[in-house]
Amino acid sequence: MLPHLSELQPELFCEISPELAAERGINHGGWVTVVTVRGSVVARALVTPRIQPLRIDGQVLHQVGLPYHWGYCGLVKGDVVNDLVAISEEPNVRIMETKGVLCNVLPGRQAE
């Protein structure tokens, strides 16, 4: 764990668009639970216009951003975003090949 990253980002956050926040009743700085078929994590909501919804064939598709910085040990502890994806490594360099997944974003800290 790098100390300067821990100081700059002291807890897990989930970047979402103002549109998704309004649709789900999520406030900037509030808690959200991000859920996939593999697991769930709890993070602070970072409502920002940097994350734009996509419009595909007349349908709105929201994007969510999650950084890979926290873990069970270290200077900053928190939920691990890798818990949301299947463990699948690229065979040549053994780096996770999946970084884009379908998820649901729920307001608040949901029971697991």
Report for 6-10, 33-37, 83-87, 98-102: range of highest mean pLDDT: 33-37
Q: Express each pLDDT in 27-76 by its tens digit.
A: 999 999 999 998 999 999 999 999 999 999 999 999 999 987 667 777 77
Residue 36 structure tokens = 């996939």
Residues 6+ apart with CB under 8 A from 8: none
User: How is the chain split into domains, by residue range?
Assistant: 3-107
CATH architecture of 3-107: Beta Barrel (2.40)
Using CA atoms, how far apart are residues 100 and 60, in angstroms rounded to an integer? 17
Asked whether residue 1 carries a pLDDT value surpassing 60, the answer given is no
Neighbour-count burial for 10-25, b at 16+ CB within 10 Å, e otherwise:
eebbbbbbeebbeebe
Total-model pTM = 0.83
Using CA atoms, how far apart are residues 61 and 51, in angstroms rounded to an integer? 11
